[in-house]
Chain A
Amino acid sequence: MKKTLLSIVMIVLALLVLLPVLWTLSTSMKPLSEVNQYPPQWTSSAMSLKPYVDMFFYLPFLTYTLNSLIVACSSTVLTLLFGSLAAFAFSRFTFPGKQVFLLIFLLSQMLPGASVIIPLFQLLQKAELYDTYWGLILVHTAVLLPFVIWLLYGFFQTIPREIEDAALIDGCSRMMALRKIILPLALPGIGATALFSFLGSWNEFFFALILTSSDSTRTIPVGIGLFVGEYLDVWNQMAAAAILFSIPPLILFTLTRKTFIKGLVAGASK
């Protein structure tokens, strides 16, 4: 009896929590005439997936999606490449200044975007990288790198050194040991880190908003965030874009929930 009651409470709470999402989902499938209707209806017989198709043709979401994919994938590759080199140095070498370097990476995670945006904007303009893929990719890579290094460092530390030592004795070089032994063994950790990196760039709004200015480079969050209220009459297509945009994060999170939460709890308390 008590269990049934508690279950009901939990379900009601879930509905309350998901209210904004459910309302967006409902809107995303309604024809425009029913979106702008009072009193609002949750469901209607005219519901369809048409807004999901329309937004790619009437709003520039096809380009935005492509841009988001290019930027997020490139940033992920770059952060993993440079991040694993740095994490390898931290976990397998002792050298003067190691603690200082670790501290620099720890502190740069706390950096407020607002206090670096103006010089970055000027720098990208000077380098003719403002409003280009490369400009945004470089900034996203730089912003995500510190946390990626910390994650990879943690994963590399869990790999026993004995295997590597044996390989080194057999005449394997340090870089070969990284490529042939550490990277394959750390693969699950690297996968989780890649997901984090991808999502970090995929969801990033502030830098993407200020460092781009044309539709040919804008990412999806900029498209959604900038045009809310501008194309007031197409709330259903905007809602469809918002829902579609949320699917990759939700899938990726469901897949890596356990690793992700474990890492997060450890990261924030250590």
Chain B
Amino acid sequence: MKKATPYLLLVPALLFTVFVLVYPLVQNLINSFSDVSMITGRSGWTGFSNYKHVFHDTLFWRSFGNTSVYAVVGTVVALILGLGFALLLNLKLGKITTVMGCLYTVPWIISPVVAGFAWKWLLNDHFGVVNYWLASAGIVKAGTTWLGNPGTALICVMLARIWQFYPFAMVMFLAGLQSIPQEQYEAAAVDGATMVRRFFHITLPNLKTVTSVMLVLGVIWSFNDFNMVFVMTRGGPMNSSMVLPVLVREFSFVQFDLGKGSALSVVIFALLTTLSYLYLKVLARGEST
């Protein structure tokens, strides 16, 4: 009885994990090799045909490209911005730093849906303030569409995503900066190293671990991100900003092809497992150095 206690305590949590992780993953795999209808359910095996449909769909490759750009470029820019803000806050100018630190974190605190809404309205072609300013300055014509234009839609969504993600990088970089031993800077100052040299030879090397962790985490999270794209463009116009998580919904709940949707889900899962493996590797390397 005593021996069973810890297992009994774990039972409820495990049941939930099975319900949301193990069962869906297995069922998803089965679905991806089957003919599945929204109404009647599974009706037999079809081999790899769902996967063939996915890989022969040019929309898949386009979304894959978009998702990669969105995840990698978005994360890199957000990290650079986050580092800039962290350096600024690390100057420690007293009370103003605390207040500004809070304000700079706001984009990350508010819900992604609200963030998407705010950006969509800000970039509105007729009544958005950004367009008005740019038009007044003579940079663009009045009434320029940003989200409705296949050439700019993805960039705009990425901008909103960067806006929402950089505070996380900022908070983590700030913690990293504050844990750098002060003696290193003092020694460098004695040796007469300039500020630029100190930045490249002390600050950056000390932030290496935290940077690699955030790079991988950021790419994983952005790769998974459904909210910003869905709220701002739904993947449009003409699928120019379509990303993989939104495409799963499109295949499954708009085209009602659950088999194809499941096959795509399995592909996403495989991609993310690879990325997660990379994350664990990065963590392990960080611990050993």
Contacts and interface: CB of A to CB of B under 8 A. Distances in A.
Interface of A: 3, 6-7, 9-11, 13-14, 17-21, 23-24, 27, 35-40, 42, 81-83, 85-86, 88-89, 93, 95, 98, 101, 104-105, 107-108, 110-123, 138-139, 141-143, 145-146, 149, 174, 202-203, 205-206, 209-210, 221, 224-225, 228-229, 235, 238-239, 242, 245-246, 249-250, 253-254, 257, 261, 264-265, 268-269
Interface string B239-277: 000001100110011000010011011101100100010
Majority SS at the chain A contact face: helix
A215 B111 CA distance: 20
Contacts of B279: 110
Contacts of B244: 114
Contacts of A98: 6
A17 B104 contact: yes
Contact of A19 (B88, B109, B122): B122
Given A83-B13, A205-B226, A115 B266 contact: yes
Given A21-B118, A221-B113, A118 B31 contact: yes
Interface string B17-40: 101110111011001000000000
B31 A14 contact: no
A12 B223 CA distance: 32
B163 to A, nearest CB: 7
B9 A10 contact: no
A228 B262 contact: no
Contacts of A27: 121
A145 B28 contact: no
> For B113, B172, B264, which residue has the most chain A Cβ atoms within 10 angstroms?
B113
Interface residues of B, number: 90
Interface of B: 3, 5-7, 9-10, 12-14, 16-17, 19-21, 23-25, 27-28, 31, 41, 85, 88, 91, 93, 96-97, 100, 102-107, 109-122, 126-129, 132, 136, 142, 160, 163, 171-172, 175, 209-210, 213-214, 217, 220, 223-224, 226-227, 230-231, 244-245, 248-249, 252-253, 258, 261-262, 264-266, 268-269, 272, 276, 279, 286
Contact of B24 (A120, A174, A261): A120
> For A10, A21, A108, A174, which residue has the most chain B Cβ atoms within 10 angstroms?
A10
Nearest to B107: A17
Contacts of A112: 223-224, 245, 265, 268-269, 272
Contact of B276 (A37, A107, A120, A250): A107
Given A85-B9, A93-B5, A116-B24, A249 B118 contact: no
> For A115, A149, A174, which residue has the most chain B Cβ atoms within 10 angstroms?
A115
A1 to B, nearest CB: 13
B93 A6 contact: yes
Given A114-B224, A228-B116, A249-B110, A40 B27 contact: no
Given A119-B23, A119-B24, A245 B132 contact: no
A82 B12 contact: yes
Given A40-B127, A112-B268, A250-B106, A142 B20 contact: yes
Contacts of B119: 20
Contacts of B163: 17, 20
A124 to B, nearest CB: 10
Contact of B115 (A14, A20, A261): A20
A223 B110 CA distance: 16
B117 A228 contact: yes
> For B41, B102, B111, B276, which residue has the most chain A Cβ atoms within 10 angstroms?
B111
Contacts of A116: 20-21, 24-25, 28, 265
A268 B213 contact: yes
A115 B25 contact: yes
Given A7-B96, A206-B227, A108 B117 contact: no
5 contacts: A23-B122, A95-B6, A110-B220, A114-B265, A145-B13
Contact of B106 (A21, A86, A89): A21
Given A20-B107, A27-B121, A120-B20, 4 more contacts: A114-B248, A141-B16, A224-B117, A264-B172
Nearest to B3: A95
Nearest to B118: A20
Contacts of B127: 35-38, 40, 235
A191 to B, nearest CB: 18
B10 A110 contact: no
Contacts of B214: 268
B54 to A, nearest CB: 13
Nearest to B287: A270
B117 A203 contact: no
B16 A246 contact: no
A19 B249 CA distance: 31
Nearest to B264: A114
